[in-house]
Amino acid sequence: MLTLLTQTLKEFGLLWSTTGRTLRTRGMTILLLFTLGAVSYHITILLTGLTAPLWTWAVIPLIALGCIIQLIITLAAYRTSIEQAEVSLGTPKLEKLNLMALVASLLIPFILAYSAFGFFDSFARNGVLATEFIHGMTSGVLFLQLLNTRGSTTITVIVAAIVIALWVSARFMKAWARRKNSALLSLFSTFLIVTGTILMLFSAFRLIWDFQQWINDRVFMSWWDSAVGWVGDLIHIDLPQILVVVQAFLADTLWPVFWDVLSQPLLWLGVVALVGGMQFMDVSTIWARMSSKLNIRRENQVLSGLIGWIVGVLDDVLESALKFLHLLAVALKAGVPFLATLIISFTVIEQAGAWFDFCVQKLLGPIEAKAVLITTPLFSIGEMILVPGLQAIFLATAYIRLRHKDQALSFERPTGVNWKSLVSILLAITIAAGISLVEPPDADPRVHLELGIPAQVMGRGVTIDDLRAGTSMTGKVSYTTLDKPITTLGVFIAVSVTVNCYSSGTVRVEAEVDDLVYPTWSSAGTLSCHAGYTASADIVFEIPREEPDHITIIVTPVQLFMSTLEIGDYRLPSTLVVHSEIFVDDTLVEEIR
């Protein structure tokens, strides 16, 4: 065990010292490349905002173009990092594909990685933000409604036909590009493939959303609860509670570890390995070996042809999955020290980026809605430039280290696995998971409010006054006059909130206990006032009886384009007296300032 720890520390030092040398010699070039990628991304977002309400479906080829630019820039950065790492570690160079061939071979893995790790979600969110910023608040909703690939049966059929046409055209264009040896035709075929894939992904997102809506429907949930309860009674166990515990473990513990800690470093290491010239096991080779072993070609020509056709259609997807499995086998075969260093280092880089973003947010401070779009590029420095730049250098170093240890990098089962190795890798995963949990705190600055004393929260004057607590309440709540007191098993907390501002503004009022947020008792959870007016009303919360000493009243400015916000908070005093009955009136009162 001690030997494994020593080897891991040695591997860690070797990889990071090489990463440091590459960063010193090629760091500026790599950061410049990712800066160009970030600029192209924000230009694409801006163009999306400009064109979305006018030519909605033009957003699809825009995203495709942006994705190709990102791919080319990322590959150039990876190749630069690999070349320097080869020099630093003294590893012989392999024959590399030309850039267009590399783009074509990495296209599907790149899009799948972008889709899986949130690129398209981020693009859609920022695209809607830009649309609403340029064309008005309702334009974003209209844009999403128009860009509905499943809006009707006709639209669905048309979209499916377009996807098929794009993929078939791309295949012919790809063959023509090979015959003519034309980089331009190859790039155009890549554009067609990306456009068709993104259009298909939009349809998949709609299907997933429809499925989520269906399983969350009251009818389905009622049927599901009844079915689970019936099965539990049949086998005499508390099946609903067991499912809740298992689901919480899988969703909150196991899945994040697998997805964030293991999948990302291995997937991106596979991309880097392909850029570096690693020869992966391909589908055609496996199919040829299986056919020969099972004598399919001699015994059943029809079956052979059918399976061969299916393999050809799914070639890109199967190739991507096979490359990931191939690299996983190579990484496992490399041993615990390498894999532990890879997992922990990748997580450290990710978390360093999160803390850098926190520092940027604290430095820029609260941002008004009108300035959010302008300052968005500043918030992407860590996410789109520094983190991917450092990851590119480290992953290139890790790949060259793999090649330095094993020139063949063949697909073989790892050997020498024992309980010490298993414990060591589980310990490394645990450390990486622990590091990923050390997230930066909320960057929103807090303004501590005092009872009866006006304070400024992002240009909005806020005053909290007349604090009351009781086990029953009477008065007027949510436009209803209470004829007799309403009682509670907990405690009613009522507080008068007054808002005034130089321009129209809205604040949201909530009660917070640690990470738990209590909404208002009635629907009046926000206060809005017009320019030159003061608005006030009682805000009521119903909370458990043991919670009043831990409650904090949170006042958050509401604005369309969210970013770093200044937030007001008022902590309830521990000496709060709970009366038997309190009077409330949540009627919004507006007065001239």
Query: What is the pLDDT, as a whole number, of residue 152?
Result: 67
Does position 69 have pLDDT exceeding 80, yes or no?
A: yes
- Min mean pLDDT across 193-202, 246-255, 261-270, 557-566 is at 246-255
Amino acid 427: pLDDT? 77
* pLDDT at position 298: 46
Q: What percent of the chain has pLDDT over 90?
A: 4
Query: Using CB atoms within 10 A of its CB, is residue 255 exposed (0-12), middle (13-18) or buried (19+)?
Result: exposed
What's the pLDDT at 387? 92
Q: How far is CA 463 from CA 9, 189, 303, 386, 534, in A?
A: 56, 62, 78, 42, 11
Question: Which has the higher per-residue pLDDT, 338 or 100?
Answer: 338
pLDDT computed for residue 220 by the predictor: 66
Per-residue pLDDT, 394: 93
* Helix ranges, 52-182 (H): 59-89, 99-116, 119-135, 139-146, 153-180
Looking at residue 226, its pLDDT comes to 75
pLDDT higher than 60, residue 76: yes
Residue 144 scores a pLDDT above 70: no
Query: 415: pLDDT confidence band, cut at 50, 70 and 90?
Result: low
Task: Report the SS3 class of residue 403.
Answer: helix
Question: Is the pLDDT score of 510 beyond 70?
Answer: yes
- pTM of the predicted protein model: 0.76
- Give the model's confidence band at 489: pLDDT under 50 very low, under 70 low, under 90 confident, else very high: confident
Q: What percent of the chain shows pLDDT beyond 70?
A: 74
Check pLDDT > 80 for residue 524. Answer: no
Give the whole-angstrom CA distance, residue 587 versus residue 35.
52
Nearest Cα to 11, choosing from 504, 314, 341, 286? 341
Is residue 469 predicted with pLDDT exceeding 60? yes
pLDDT at 566 over 80: yes
Per-residue model confidence as pLDDT tens digits over 256-311: 777 777 778 887 887 787 777 766 656 566 656 556 655 555 445 555 555 555 55
Q: What is the token pair recorded at 151?
A: 């809006």
The predicted pLDDT at position 63 comes to 81
DSSP SS3 for 500: strand
| Distance separating alpha carbons of residues 60 and 186, to the nearest angstrom | 20
Q: What is the mean pLDDT of the chain?
A: 77
- Structure confidence at residue 390 (pLDDT): 93
Task: Give the residue-averaged pLDDT of 478-482.
Answer: 75
Predicted pLDDT of residue 299: 47
**Residue 521 pLDDT level (bands cut at 50, 70, 90):** confident
Residue pLDDT, tens place only, 321-373: 666 676 667 777 777 788 888 888 998 998 999 899 888 888 887 877 777 77
pLDDT at 30: 92
Q: What pairs with residue 537 in β-bridges?
A: 497
